[in-house]
């Protein structure tokens, strides 16, 4: 299938772009003091990236698969964080790659990496382009060139093992197409992150992605049973059984490596039968504390829905959990939880009944199916909303972390306090998701007026809140990844010896340091 590129200056399909309803615009003016709309983005045709330096790769992948035109280079510049969008909307493409290279096989990937190492050309693996942590903006100033290695030609479902219930996928396969191919054979991957409509299989693995149905299906790294990694020094093939005691698991070294060691060219993943039915419902709790207690009870003792998330009071009030009704919550108060269920009709009915009994005993008030169905319909819409906010003069960004249940309240307070202090006129929202017996993820959304220097003000706030997360005992990222944005805090989290061990691995697999330089691992 042909791959449609995302909007170069925003998220997703340009045909789905929306303007904010007047009710929301008025609310922003009142809460944040937003009055003037910013300048409109520059036009794509007006952007001129720096002159492209030559990259000697056409003999490996073919002339037609080495693209140096301005538009292709611009579309492969940066990811989709708010900082990325502010820069590219202003026409700042100083970090554009010199060429976009499209390999068609593992062997071509390996040959490209070897050639780039010989010529000191930095390589940026590129799947869906959805990174929100600077993962596509390497520190490549010392190199002779930069190429974006676009994996879209590696887009096959290689095979399905119906006995073992596994599927082998290539990294450039986009998530919707992967799901479509599996559905045709009666299976599902069950992985639906917010980036689902645009992200790639390789990106899921490289960033340890976590989907919205993780309570039922698990994280993507838990699904991966085997993988192949091409590096400048050769190939690693890891995983020949579901579990093994044959030394440390090399799969775990590759998963989450964000292109710093090499390029994932194939993954074998666990699949499950396509569910017969799905159902969603809403629950209201009087406070975040009461809701968190209920989620912990389900995560630790069951029954566990397939989807389980809880919005705090602010997110519930504004209506972010129900994008179709943004700004129209009605002021009911409390915290909205969404539960979703997959399975046969009988399984779904039985589990819903058990969850209802459990949540009612923990103070939950059943809200019917409409709140859950509303969330399900709008669950991929939030990035489009961010674009509309940027157009209205509002900076909107997200960040996430995770902690043990006993530390979740402390972490929540630390992040909110820091954001409120650093961004005086702001609204901070949060939801709890991706639950485990031992803890959960916190996903924050902050909106504030752009002001005159939005990049500088957000940069200061992001650094401060990252430091606060580490100091409060949380992880710097649960599923967005490290990239450049979280690298310094990740170094503190891993510790000096841990960072040295990762650097030693990189030095062995990528001696010339060409793989996504500066991403994940701090420079020595």
Q: At the top level of CATH, which class does the domain 277-378 belong to?
A: alpha beta
Grade residue 328 by pLDDT with cuts at 50, 70 and 90: low
Tokens 């924050």 belong to: 444
Tokens 């000096």 belong to: 496
CA atoms of 170 and 155, how far apart (whole Å): 5
Q: Is the pLDDT assigned to residue 488 strictly greater than 90?
A: yes
Grade residue 323 by pLDDT with cuts at 50, 70 and 90: low
Residue 112, pLDDT score = 98
Residue 14, pLDDT score = 86
Sign for the pseudo-dihedral over CA of 474, 477, 479, 480: positive
Residue 367: which H helix or E strand, with range?
A: none
CATH number among 3.40.109.10, 2.60.34.10, 3.10.310.30, 3.30.465.10, domain 160-273: 3.30.465.10
Grade residue 322 by pLDDT with cuts at 50, 70 and 90: low
Grade residue 138 by pLDDT with cuts at 50, 70 and 90: very high
Grade residue 200 by pLDDT with cuts at 50, 70 and 90: very high
Residue 37, pLDDT score = 72
Section 465-469 average pLDDT: 98
Tens digit of each residue's pLDDT (9 = 90 or more) over 1-39: 456 689 999 999 988 887 777 777 777 777 788 877 777
Grade residue 467 by pLDDT with cuts at 50, 70 and 90: very high
Q: Is the pLDDT assigned to residue 331 strictly greater than 80?
A: no
Q: What's 122's DSSP letter?
A: E
Per residue in 43-77, is it b (16+ CB within 10 Å) or e — as a string?
Answer: eeeebebeebeebebeebbeeebbbbeeebbbbbb
372 phi, psi to nearest 5 deg: -70, -40
Section 435-448 average pLDDT: 97
Residue 1, pLDDT score = 44
Residue 16, pLDDT score = 87
Section 196-216 average pLDDT: 97
Q: Is the pLDDT assigned to residue 258 strictly greater than 60?
A: yes
Tens digit of each residue's pLDDT (9 = 90 or more) over 268-316: 999 999 999 999 999 999 999 999 999 999 999 999 999 999 999 999 9
> Average pLDDT, whole number, for the chain?
94
DSSP secondary structure, 443-506, as one string: EEEEEEE--S-HHHHHHHHHHHHHHHHHHTT-BS-SSS--TTTTHHHHHHHHHHHHHHHHHHHH
> Where do the domains of the chain lie?
160-273, 277-378
CA atoms of 167 and 274, how far apart (whole Å): 14
Q: What's 174's DSSP letter?
A: B
Tokens coding 386: 């961010």
Section 435-458 average pLDDT: 95
Tens digit of each residue's pLDDT (9 = 90 or more) over 147-186: 999 999 999 999 999 999 999 999 999 999 999 999 999 9
């Amino acid at each position: 299938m042909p791959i449609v590129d995302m909007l170069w200056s925003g998220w997703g399909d340009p045909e789905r772009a929306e303007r904010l309803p007047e009710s929301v615009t008025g609310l922003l003016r009142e809460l944040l003091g937003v009055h003037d709309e910013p300048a409109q983005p520059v036009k794509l045709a007006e952007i001129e990236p720096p002159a492209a330096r030559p990259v000697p790769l056409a003999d490996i992948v073919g002339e037609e698969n080495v693209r140096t035109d301005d538009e292709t280079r611009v579309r492969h510049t940066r990811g989709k964080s708010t900082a990325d969008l502010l820069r590219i909307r202003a026409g700042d493409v100083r970090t554009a790659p010199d060429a976009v290279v499209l390999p068609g096989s593992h062997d071509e990937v390996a040959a490209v990496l070897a050639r780039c190492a010989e010529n000191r050309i930095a390589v940026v693996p590129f799947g869906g382009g959805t990174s929100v942590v600077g993962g596509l903006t390497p520190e490549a100033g010392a190199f002779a060139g930069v190429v974006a290695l676009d994996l879209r030609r590696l887009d096959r479902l290689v095979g399905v093992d119906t006995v073992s219930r596994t599927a082998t996928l290539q990294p450039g396969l986009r998530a919707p197409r992967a799901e479509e191919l599996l559905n045709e054979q009666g299976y599902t991957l069950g992985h639906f992150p917010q980036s689902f409509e645009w992200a790639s299989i390789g990106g899921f693995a490289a960033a340890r992605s976590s989907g919205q149905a993780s309570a039922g299906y698990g994280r993507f790294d838990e699904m991966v049973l085997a993988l192949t990694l091409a590096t400048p020094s050769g190939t690693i093939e890891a995983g020949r059984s579901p579990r093994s005691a044959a030394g440390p698991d090399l799969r775990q070294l590759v998963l989450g490596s964000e292109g710093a060691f090499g390029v994932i060219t194939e993954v074998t993943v666990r699949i499950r039968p396509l569910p017969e039915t799905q159902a969603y419902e809403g629950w209201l709790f009087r406070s975040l504390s009461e809701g968190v207690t209920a989620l912990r009870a389900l995560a630790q003792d069951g029954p566990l829905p397939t989807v389980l998330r809880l919005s705090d009071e602010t997110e519930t009030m504004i209506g972010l959990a129900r994008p179709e009704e943004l700004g129209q919550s009605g002021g009911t108060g409390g915290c909205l939880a969404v539960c979703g269920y997959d399975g046969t009709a009988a399984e779904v009915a039985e589990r819903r009944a058990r969850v209802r009994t459990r949540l009612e005993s923990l103070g939950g008030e059943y809200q019917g199916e409409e709140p859950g169905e509303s969330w399900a319909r709008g669950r991929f819409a939030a990035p489009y909303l961010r674009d509309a906010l940027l157009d209205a003069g509002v900076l909107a960004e997200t960040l996430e972390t995770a902690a043990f249940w006993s530390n979740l309240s402390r972490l929540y307070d630390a992040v909110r306090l820091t954001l409120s202090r650093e961004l005086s006129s702001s609204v901070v929202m949060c939801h709890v998701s991706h639950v485990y017996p031992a803890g959960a993820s916190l996903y924050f959304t902050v909106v504030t007026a752009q002001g005159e220097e939005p990049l500088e003000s957000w940069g200061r706030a992001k650094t401060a809140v990252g430091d606060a997360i580490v100091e409060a005992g949380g992880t710097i990222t649960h599923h967005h990844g490290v990239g450049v944005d979280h690298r310094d805090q990740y170094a503190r989290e891993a510790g000096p010896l841990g960072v040295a061990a990762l650097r030693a691995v990189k030095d062995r697999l990528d001696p010339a340091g060409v793989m996504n330089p500066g991403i994940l691992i701090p420079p020595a």
